[in-house]
Amino acid sequence: MPRLWGADEMLDVLVEQAGLPTADRPADLGVTFEDIGLDSLAYIQLQAAVHEKFGIEIPDDFPKDDSLAEILATVNAHLSEQQEVA
């Protein structure tokens, strides 16, 4: 079974590395970076964490209108592709 990134893991990165206050941690991933007060710098920090943890690149363009669920799905799609090749 492929190893996918979980919502809690992604939210931990946003809190620990991207500056999301713990109190603002969303219960639902249907929100955007903007909805939770994060900007493109926070996305860059998320990109770096994903690259460090999994060795994969996610799109450089700041996903202003994408929900956290969509970003997580993008990461997991890359992970699935990577594991199919391995």
Q: What is the per-residue pLDDT across 20-30, written as a single tens digit (0 to 9) for each? A: 999 999 999 99
Residue 66 neighbours by CB distance under 10 Å: 17
CATH number at 30 reads 1.10.1200.10
Q: Is 55 part of a structural domain of the chain?
A: yes
β-bridge mates for residue 32, sequence order: 67
Q: Is 66 part of a structural domain of the chain?
A: yes
Q: Is 2 part of a structural domain of the chain?
A: no
Q: Is 29 part of a structural domain of the chain?
A: yes
Number of domains in the chain: 1
pLDDT at position 11 over 90: yes
Q: Is 60 part of a structural domain of the chain?
A: yes
Range of the domain at 29: 7-85
Nearest-5° Cα angle at 19, 8 to 66: 60
What predicted TM-score, i.e. pTM, was given to this entire model? 0.90
Task: Render pLDDT for 48-83 as a digit per residue (tens, 0 to 9).
Answer: 999 999 999 988 999 989 999 999 999 999 999 887
Q: Which of residues 12 and 1 earns the better pLDDT score? A: 12
